């Protein structure tokens, strides 16, 4: 019982205290030596033993810090204790980092960082000088001494369970909701309400049409969105709507909140239906009573409000909750509100409604409603001007607009301006039921690793567009992502991103959905919860900040372009920094003297991340090798050369070199490098093949120079993933280099481009080279450019390439026939350009039937005259056909292409399209093709004189756009002629 009455913090402290006792006592570190004077080997053995101890210490400290992440700790003494533990852990990690790189190759360092048990015996012949060994030994002594001096906080043990229970109950009380609408007037949600009502009032037969699911009469709509968007308010509006009330005979409102207890929720459901539950504590009688209540009652509306992603919510508990609804005769509609898309995806028979932000106009209306309640805004024009900007900063979140409006209701213009110039969270953090405490609940539900990742994002400016891979690589550099034997750190990082997306901490960037943005209020929350761990300096505004800052960034001013060197020099405590970022949001910083002065960051000796993407300088300092712990380095596109010293930064995992096109010879030393990013194809130095952990590589340029890497160095680089290109293949003098590259073993390359220079002459080995460059059968996209051989390789079109979805062939000018692409089972898009020796496309091209092909483009095929056409059942999904600049094309059969919706025929001077003596059956097939056409483009086809003749305009019922030029020779009263006369259909194209 005594254990139960202790706080979680106290239990964590005691666990830590017990674990420390299992570590090896300091006195037993050093093995006895036969000599009174320790030899170098004795010193190395001592370091080996102490390194083991430090790694075990790190494991316990990390476990304790992870425990702390799951608690909302405010007690100052406990915070200080945790900070001391973190600082000692940092020192230990730094020291282990600085052991000579030989240890790294012997297993000191695992994929995810230092781990207990990863130490192997040190070889006696390793090259560590006595001076170096003594220095490492002394530092180990100092770290252990610091660790042993750390006192566990007595206050933690005095915290009692009652206080925690009271806090938990008060949080739960705040989260309780009811069906009663709190607001007298709802702004800006009419469209959303209409969509929810459409779901609720739709006929049950329509919902279940064509389904044999056992949930036919239980349908769910999940309203998903971040806290403060008004999900509950929208559900209340629907629940109280007159039409909805008439449609449902029974209604029940249940606030789920942070505990998906099926017994509690079933009781709440019954109570909401005016049923007594006193004395019922088991699920079975509760279920039976609910079934009895639903019997013969018609339709039921159930609202499950504020459903959280918690441990006891899973498909089993969900099915258990709705079991009586499934087994009753009542047709049931469920509205569920949640902040997590994962919750909505778990439910069957579910439609998800992503609740968006208010429009700027509605956000302003809501703000003004609360700020000027009982007053005429026209009498306070000075406040209205300020209010418009404040409302804009609320970012369309109703709760923020309401909170700030209510806060300013009785304030004068001085206070309004103060709020305008402050961070939103600073203004409302202490307001009960305001947006930040609401959002903070979402943060508290994050797993410990995701909390760290989220806080780190506060280093970037508002509206910053995050590259998924870039932020993941930064998290990796900070050791926020722990690898395991089944997954790479990068894949775990992608799951972290998806998790944060599903909980609305991130949003997809509208212009590029693969990129991310963070809502301004989420950014405010990140800054709020990061405390003194992360700090961002605005532009050139130097100011005092905590000496405990670990991650530091300088945000570029939107209105100012000037040097920030003075700001960097004014930083008083840079040594603790583990991140230094100059993110490139809008402007580049102007850094004078064509070089970033090394003294601007020479003191930041513990850096793991250095992002200079926003800095405009031409040369990276030679002193970069002083940053021994660096894992992530990004430079701007203005740098044109890397110093040789970069090869001494052994721990680098990610190197973004901008537009640098040639790397120093020392690059082969970076054996931990996993990602090499560049905006151009790089010429690699000899030895690059040693970097076998590389996953991201911009491509490979085959160079004729002797001091550049040969293509065969790719042999063991089998971890390359994603997009990969090989250029300069005309420079390949030995076909064995292509064979050594072993592309077929690089099973994680999804997109491959093989390129020959168009101006180069052909080589007798070109054909054998392409044959030897057979990729993995897991390839998804293939491009071949400028190949000069007379025929295609045997593997191109092989059905074993079952994932190949896109093929693009350009400038393969000597091919006289095309590969059997029809055999590729997953091919969706095929683009062929400048196959200038192809005269006829035969049945072998269609062999296999193109089962998935959706888009086919054939262009600049100078002597192509005709094709065999598709047979019945072939190309069943071909939607778009484009034929362009084929001057000798004489016929083009569209028979059996019944799925076509978009046809484009351009610059085909000899094409009569379809002759007058065509058979009746083919004409009928052609008309069948045209029946489904939505878009038809015909340009510069001066000999086009005949098309299939229809009898009425209705032969083209789906046509929405007709682009035509030079169709004056078309004869007959055909559908095209009729459409051309109708201006609403015709879009002239020049």
Do 786 and 758 meet the contact criterion of CB atoms below 8 Å apart? yes
- Highest mean predicted confidence (pLDDT) among 181-185, 517-521, 539-543, 736-740: 736-740
Give me the pLDDT at residue 41, please: 60
Q: Residue 811 has what pLDDT?
A: 96
Please classify residue 37 by burial: count the beta carbons closer than 10 Å to its beta carbon, then call 0-12 exposed, 13-18 middle and 19+ buried: exposed
Q: Which residues contact 974 (CB under 8 A, 6 or more apart)?
A: 947, 948, 949, 950
Helix (H, G, I), strand (E, B) or coil at 920: helix
Q: What pLDDT, on the 0 to 100 scale, is given for residue 600?
A: 66
pLDDT category at 150 given cuts 50, 70, 90 is confident
Residue 621: its pLDDT value, please?
83
What's the whole-number mean pLDDT along residues 733-745? Answer: 95
pLDDT of residue 662: 86
Can you give the pLDDT at residue 183?
A: 72
| Alpha-helix residue ranges (DSSP H) falling in 791-867 | 843-846
320, HSE (Cβ side, Cα atoms, 13 Å): 17
Is 954 in a helix, a strand, or coil? helix
If you average pLDDT over residues 438-450, what whole number do you get?
A: 84
CA distance 48 to 67: 29
> Coil, helix or strand for 978?
helix
pLDDT confidence of residue 111: 39
Band of residue 110 on the pLDDT scale cut at 50, 70, 90: very low
What's the rounded mean pLDDT across residues 889-916?
82
What pLDDT score was predicted for residue 963? Answer: 59
Most confident of 160-174, 408-422, 573-587, 832-846: 832-846
- The Cα–Cα gap between 725 and 751 comes to 8
Taking the CA atoms of residue 266, residue 267, residue 272 and residue 274 in that order, the dihedral angle to the nearest 10 degrees is 120
Cα–Cα distance, 626 to 648 (Å, whole number):
9
Instruction: Answer yes or no: is pLDDT of 391 > 60.
Output: yes
Give this prediction's pTM: 0.81
| Whether residue 469 has pLDDT greater than 90 | yes
Using 50, 70 and 90 to split pLDDT, how confident is the model at 445?
confident
In the 8-state DSSP scheme, what is residue 588? -
Alpha helices (runs of H) in 176-230, residue ranges in sequence order? 190-201, 204-208
Instruction: Please determine, for residue 35, whether its predicted confidence score (pLDDT) is greater than 60.
Output: no
Q: What are the DSSP calls for 112-162, one per residue? A: TEE-TT---PPPTT----HHHHHHHHHHHHHHHHHHHHPPPPHHHHH-BHH
Query: 521 or 337: which carries more pLDDT confidence?
Result: 337
**pLDDT per residue as tens digits for the range 685-716:** 999 999 999 999 989 999 999 889 999 999 99
Who contacts 732 (Cβ-Cβ below 8 Å, separation ≥6)? Answer: 702, 711, 738, 763, 765, 769
pLDDT classification of 968: cutoffs 50, 70, 90: very low
Annotated domain spans of the chain: 1-107+129-149, 189-203+215-354, 358-433, 446-528
Instruction: With both helix axes pointing from N to C terminus, report the angle between 448-456 and 520-530 in degrees, rounded to the nearest 10.
Output: 110
Higher pLDDT, 987 or 278: 278
- Using one digit for the tens of pLDDT, what is the confidence trace for 505-527? 898 888 888 899 998 888 888 99
CA dihedral 411, 416, 418, 423 (to 10 degrees): 110
Kindly report the average pLDDT of the chain as a whole number. 80
Q: What is the mean predicted confidence (pLDDT) over 21-44?
A: 50
Helices marked H in 202-261 — which ranges? 204-208, 231-239, 242-247
Give kind and range of the element (H or E) at residue 78.
helix 76-98
Of 157-166, 317-326, 399-408, 888-897, where does mean pLDDT reach its minimum? 157-166
Question: Which phi and psi (to 5°) does residue 214 adopt?
Answer: -70, -15
Q: Give whole-number Cα distances, 274 to 270, 293, 645, 835, 982, in Å.
A: 6, 10, 76, 77, 65
Fold of the domain spanning 189-203+215-354: Rossmann fold (3.40.50)
Match 């690793």 to its residue by tokens.
449
Q: What average pLDDT score do residues 298-322 get?
A: 89
Report the pLDDT value the prediction gives residue 664, as an integer from 0 to 100.
Answer: 93
Note the pLDDT of residue 39.
56
CA-based diameter of the chain, in Å? 111
Tell whether the model's pLDDT for residue 960 goes beyond 80.
Answer: no
Report the distance separating Cα 305 and Cα 344, nearest Å: 12
Q: Output the six-digit token pair for 729.
A: 């293949």
pLDDT at residue 54, rounded to an integer: 83
* Domain 446-528: CATH class, spelled out: mainly alpha
Q: How many CA atoms lie within 13 A of 78 on its CB side?
A: 23
Residues with Cβ < 8 Å from 223, sequence gap 6 or more?
A: 196, 231, 234, 235, 335, 336, 337, 338, 353, 355
């Amino acid at each position: 019982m005594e254990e139960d009455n202790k706080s979680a913090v106290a239990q964590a402290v005691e666990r830590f205290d017990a674990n420390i006792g299992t570590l090896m006592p300091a006195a037993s570190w050093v093995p006895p030596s036969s000599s009174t004077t320790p030899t170098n080997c004795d010193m190395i053995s001592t370091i080996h033993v102490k390194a083991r101890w430090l790694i075990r210490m790190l494991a316990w400290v990390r476990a304790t810090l992870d425990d702390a992440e799951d608690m909302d700790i405010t007690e100052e003494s406990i915070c200080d204790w945790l900070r001391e533990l973190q600082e000692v852990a940092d020192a230990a990690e730094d020291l282990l980092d600085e052991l000579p790189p030989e240890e790294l190759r012997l297993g000191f360092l695992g994929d995810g960082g230092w781990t207990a048990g990863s130490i192997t015996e040190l070889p006696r012949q390793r090259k560590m000088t006595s001076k170096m060994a003594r220095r490492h030994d002394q530092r180990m002594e100092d770290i252990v001494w610091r660790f042993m001096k750390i006192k566990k906080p007595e206050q933690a043990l005095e915290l009692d369970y009652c206080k925690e229970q009271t806090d938990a109950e008060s949080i739960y009380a705040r989260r309780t909701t009811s069906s009663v609408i709190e607001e007298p007037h709802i702004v800006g949600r009419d469209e959303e309400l209409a969509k929810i009502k459409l779901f609720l009032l739709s006929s049950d037969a329509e919902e279940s049409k064509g389904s044999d699911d056992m949930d036919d009469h239980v349908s769910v709509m999940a309203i998903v969105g971040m806290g403060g968007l008004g999900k509950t308010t929208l559900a209340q509006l629907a629940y109280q709507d007159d039409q909805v009330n008439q449609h449902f005979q029974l209604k029940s409102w249940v606030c789920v909140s942070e505990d998906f207890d099926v017994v509690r929720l079933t009781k709440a459901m019954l109570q909401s239906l005016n049923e007594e539950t006193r004395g019922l504590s088991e699920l079975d009688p509760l279920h039976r009573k609910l079934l009895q209540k639903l019997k013969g009652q018609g339709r039921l509306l159930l609202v499950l409000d504020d459903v959280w992603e918690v441990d006891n919510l899973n498909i089993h508990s969900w099915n258990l909750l709705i079991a009586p609804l499934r087994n009753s005769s009542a047709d049931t509609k469920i509205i569920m509100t949640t902040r997590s898309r994962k919750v909505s995806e778990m439910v069957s028979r579910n439609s998800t409604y992503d609740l968006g932000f208010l429009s700027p106009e509605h956000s302003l209306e809501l703000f003004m409603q609360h700020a000027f309640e009982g007053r005429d805004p026209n009498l306070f024009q000075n406040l209205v001007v300020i209010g418009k900007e404040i409302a804009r900063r609320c970012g369309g979140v109703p709760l923020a607009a309401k909170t700030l409006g209510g806060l300013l209701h009785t304030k004068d213009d001085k206070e309004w301006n103060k709020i305008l110039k402050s961070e939103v969270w600073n203004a409302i953090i202490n307001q009960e039921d305001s947006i930040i405490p609401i959002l903070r609940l979402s943060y508290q539900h994050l797993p410990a690793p995701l909390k760290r990742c989220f806080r780190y994002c506060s280093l970037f400016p508002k509206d910053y567009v995050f590259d998924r891979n870039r932020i993941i690589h930064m998290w990796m550099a900070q050791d926020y992502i722990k690898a395991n034997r089944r997954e790479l750190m990068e894949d775990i990082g992608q799951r972290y991103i998806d998790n944060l997306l599903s909980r609305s901490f991130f949003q997809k960037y509208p212009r590029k959905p693969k990129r991310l943005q963070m809502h301004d209020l989420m950014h405010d929350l990140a800054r709020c919860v990061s405390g003194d761990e992360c700090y961002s300096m605005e532009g050139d505004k130097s100011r005092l900040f905590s000496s405990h800052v670990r991650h530091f960034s300088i945000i570029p001013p939107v209105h100012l372009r000037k040097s920030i060197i003075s700001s960097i020099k004014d930083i008083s405590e840079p040594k603790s920094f583990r991140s230094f970022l100059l993110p490139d949001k809008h402007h580049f910083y102007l850094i004078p003297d064509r070089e970033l002065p090394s003294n601007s960051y020479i003191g930041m000796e513990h850096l793991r991340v250095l992002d200079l993407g926003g800095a405009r300088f031409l040369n990276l300092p030679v002193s970069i090798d002083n940053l021994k712990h660096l894992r992530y380095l990004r430079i701007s596109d203005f740098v044109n050369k890397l110093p040789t010293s970069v090869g001494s930064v052994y721990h680098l995992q990610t190197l973004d070199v901008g537009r640098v096109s040639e790397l120093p010879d020392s690059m082969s030393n970076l054996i931990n490098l996993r990602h090499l990013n560049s905006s151009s194809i790089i010429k690699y130095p000899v030895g690059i093949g040693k970097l076998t952990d590389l996953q991201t590589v911009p491509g490979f340029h085959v160079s004729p120079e002797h001091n550049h890497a040969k293509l065969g160095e790719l042999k063991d680089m089998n971890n390359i993933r994603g997009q990969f290109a090989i250029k300069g293949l005309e420079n390949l003098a030995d076909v064995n280099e292509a064979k050594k590259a072993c592309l077929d073993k690089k099973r994680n390359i999804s997109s491959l481009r093989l390129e020959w220079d168009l101006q180069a002459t052909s080589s007798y080995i070109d054909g054998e080279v392409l044959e030897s460059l057979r990729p993995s059968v897991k390839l998804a996209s293939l491009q071949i450019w400028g190949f000069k051989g007379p025929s295609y390789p045997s593997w191109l079109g092989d059905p074993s390439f079952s994932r190949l979805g896109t093929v693009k062939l350009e400038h393969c000018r000597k091919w006289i026939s095309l590969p059997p692409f029809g055999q590729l089972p997953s091919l969706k898009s095929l683009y062929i350009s400048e196959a200038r020796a192809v005269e006829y496309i035969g049945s072998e091209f269609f062999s296999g039937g193109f089962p998935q092909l959706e888009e086919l483009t054939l262009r600049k095929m100078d002597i192509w005259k005709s094709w065999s056409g598709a047979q019945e059942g072939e190309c069943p999904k071909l939607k778009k056909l484009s034929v362009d600049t084929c001057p000798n094309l004489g016929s083009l059969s569209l028979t059996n292409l019944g799925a076509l919706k978009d046809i484009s025929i351009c610059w085909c001077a000899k094409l009569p399209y379809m002759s007058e003596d065509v058979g009746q059956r083919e004409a009928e097939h052609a008309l069948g093709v045209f029946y489904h056409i939505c878009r038809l483009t015909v340009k510069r086809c001066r000999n086009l004189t005949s098309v299939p003749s229809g009898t009425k305009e209705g032969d083209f019922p789906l046509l929405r756009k007709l682009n035509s030029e030079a169709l004056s020779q078309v004869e007959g009263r055909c559908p095209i002629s009729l459409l051309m006369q109708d201006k609403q259909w015709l879009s002239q194209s020049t």
